[in-house]
């Protein structure tokens, strides 16, 4: 029984490590600079590559991923099977991936609030903003930041 448990633990750890090593895909409005800044922070925090796709048809991609129109921003990323729209803080992303809340397909920060990851401006006070969880369970506030 101990060998079975050890083998199961090894397989689970290997599966998690493999998922974490997969590149992150981010579709952005072509040429958007703040998206690159967000991607750099994600790259540092997750320790994996971020493939940036300049997508002229990103609205279509957002809809296909289930992003509500009211939560739209300048980029949409897929990380470990979850959807992240806009300037979602990395800590919130990691918490959502770890917990996998039932009925939540992803998180979104609508618009481009100052002070959100990739939107930091030295000397500017961060704007308050909410991170919204969305999916089959509807929309709920996942976290609040800034201000």
* Tokens encoding 15: 């599966």
What is residue 11's predicted lDDT score, i.e. its pLDDT? 43
- CB of 85 within 8 A of CB of 109? yes
Count how many residues are written for the chain: 147
* Interval 74-84: pLDDT, tens: 999 999 999 99
Average pLDDT over residues 54-70: 95
State phi, psi for 131 to the nearest 5 degrees.
-100, 125
Sign of CA dihedral 78, 82, 86, 87: negative
What is residue 21's predicted lDDT score, i.e. its pLDDT? 61
What is residue 22's predicted lDDT score, i.e. its pLDDT? 76
* Interval 25-58: pLDDT, tens: 999 988 788 888 999 999 999 888 999 999 999 9
Question: In this prediction, what percent of the chain has a pLDDT beyond 70?
Answer: 85
Q: Which of the four pLDDT bands, split at 50, 70 and 90, describes residue 93?
A: very high
pTM: predicted TM-score of the whole model, two decimal places: 0.84
The answer on pLDDT for 20 being more than 60 is no
Split into its structural domains, the chain has a count of 1
**Side-chain-facing half-sphere of 134: CA atoms under 13 Å:** 21
Structural domain containing residue 92 = 2-145
């Amino acid at each position: 029984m101990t060998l079975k448990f050890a083998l199961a633990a090894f397989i689970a750890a290997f599966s998690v490590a493999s998922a974490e090593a997969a590149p992150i895909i981010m579709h952005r409005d072509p040429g958007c600079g703040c998206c690159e800044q967000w991607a750099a922070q994600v790259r540092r925090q997750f320790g994996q590559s971020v493939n940036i796709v300049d997508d002229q048809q990103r609205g279509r991609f957002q809809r296909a991923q289930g992003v509500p129109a009211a939560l739209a921003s300048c980029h949409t990323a897929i990380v470990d099977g979850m959807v992240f729209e806009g300037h979602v803080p990395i800590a919130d992303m990691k918490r959502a991936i770890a917990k996998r809340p039932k009925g939540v397909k992803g998180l979104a920060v609508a618009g481009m609030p100052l002070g959100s990851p990739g939107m930091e401006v030295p000397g500017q006070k961060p704007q308050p903003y909410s991170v919204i969880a969305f999916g089959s369970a509807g929309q709920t506030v996942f976290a609040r930041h800034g201000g």
